[in-house]
Amino acid sequence: MKKLALVSDAWAPQVNGVVRTLQTTAEKLGERGWDVMAITPDRFPSLPCPTYPEIRLALIRPGAVGRMIEDSGAGAVHIATEGPLGLAARRHCLTRGRPFTTSFHTRFPDYLHARFRLPVGLSWRYLRWFHGPARAVLVATPRLAAELNEQGIGQTRLWSRGVDLSRFRPGLPAPQAYQGLPRPILLNVGRVAVEKNIEAFLAAPAPGSKVVVGDGPALADLKARFPEALFLGALSGEALAQAYAGADLFVFPSRTDTFGLVLVEAMAAGLPVAAYPVAGPLDVVGGSDAGALDADLPAAIARALRVPRAAAIAHAQGFSWDAAASQFEAAVSDCLEATQRPRRRLLRRNPGKMGPAAS
């Protein structure tokens, strides 16, 4: 059986696109005969990340992550995040001469600049250092690959995203909270934080009602400033699917997302998309008739409200988790092959010392 150690600082109970992507990919690999061991914060004591309390930072003893990787018997190692667990796994792999892959999910330079005014150049320097030794850096879109290449991270491979069409679908009953709301219902789903630019959505002149699904550090401030909006907090499973299906339009004001998995989920539920013409929406919606992208967000909303729901549903059909899992599997299989190659050379050189009994 092929074995993979998947190391991530982002994991349940966090609710976001990164976690959904990693968990779904692990499930798909399991269906294909892989044994995936997730090395995640729930396995360690942890503390809340400053300003992001729902994100837990693992408190790890020296060597703990490396021992878990070796004890798992994993032939391939994928490091999904650049946090404490990712750093520990990177250090172990470099010390042991183990090939590994990484993935780039979050534009931390933009986030850290938005929240703490940290110069983006410093963050990119760290990211170049972190991802530099990786055999491959998996990215969601060709546009993101080009951006990383400009920043000196060139060994990228495509790992797209999918949608669960059995869960996110039209025709579900609307949430009780939608009863009595003036139509159209404009929906935003995601982390409620300054880098998501939700204020631009809430301040945009538009007909109907505005609904925000999600939690985060900016929630209390936005509730106080925009009391006319409906804030439902974090939802998951069928409740999230119903929140999508019961709305009329999905508004995505973020300018910093690398993909925007919520865009695909919304379209699968029949929601056209209104967004800025930036990376993420351009990759997911651009070139289709499933929504409207405009530098003027109210103009994008007005145009997207005229888009048929059927166009959004049809566009979402092209996003497959099976295809995305195949891209991921190809990358980690190459890593597995590179890991096994030195052992095969040793077996050829020392057939008497490393025969079947020794292996």
Q: What is the pLDDT of residues 140-151, one digit of tens each?
A: 999 999 999 999
For residue 113 the two structure tokens come to 């600049």
Same domain, 138 and 240: no
Site of tokens 């995305």: 324
81-94: pLDDT as tens digits: 999 999 999 999 99
In a domain, 170, yes or no: no
Same domain, 78 and 201: no
DSSP letter for 173, please: P
Contact 230, 157 (CB under 8 A): no
Site of tokens 């750093």: 87
Greater model confidence, 346 or 112: 112
Q: How many helices (H) and strands (E) does the chain have?
A: 14, 14
Same domain, 280 and 185: yes
Same domain, 233 and 326: no
Same domain, 14 and 145: yes
The predicted model gives 329-349 an average pLDDT of 76
The predicted model gives 351-356 an average pLDDT of 45
Same domain, 12 and 144: yes
For residue 139 the two structure tokens come to 């990215």
Q: Within a 10 A sphere around the Cβ of 356, how many other Cβ atoms?
A: 5
Task: State if pTM tops 0.85.
Answer: yes
Contact 186, 209 (CB under 8 A): yes
The predicted model gives 317-324 an average pLDDT of 96
In a domain, 122, yes or no: yes
Same domain, 36 and 59: yes
In sequence order, the 6+-apart residues with CB closer than 8 A to the CB of 203 are: 226
Range name among 114-123, 124-133, 213-222, 278-287 with the lowest pLDDT average? 114-123
The predicted model gives 299-309 an average pLDDT of 98
Looking at residue 104, its amino acid is F
How far apart are alpha carbons 114 and 309 in whole angstroms?
A: 34
In a domain, 303, yes or no: yes
How far apart are alpha carbons 12 and 7 in whole angstroms?
A: 13
Whose CA is closest to 295, among 204, 214, 228, 231? 204
Q: Residue 111's domain spans which residues?
A: 2-162+321-349
Contact 348, 302 (CB under 8 A): no
The predicted model gives 227-236 an average pLDDT of 97
Looking at residue 221, its amino acid is D
Identify the pLDDT of residue 345.
57
pLDDT band at 203 (very low <50, low <70, confident <90, very high): very high
SS3 101: strand
The predicted model gives 308-319 an average pLDDT of 97
Note the helical H segments in 159-296.
198-203, 219-225, 237-245, 261-268, 281-284
SS3 74: coil
pLDDT at residue 340 greater than cutoff 90: no
The predicted model gives 105-117 an average pLDDT of 80
Q: Domain tally for the chain? A: 2
For residue 128 the two structure tokens come to 């170049």
SS3 215: coil
CATH of the domain at 202: 3.40.50.2000
How far apart are alpha carbons 81 and 102 in whole angstroms?
A: 7
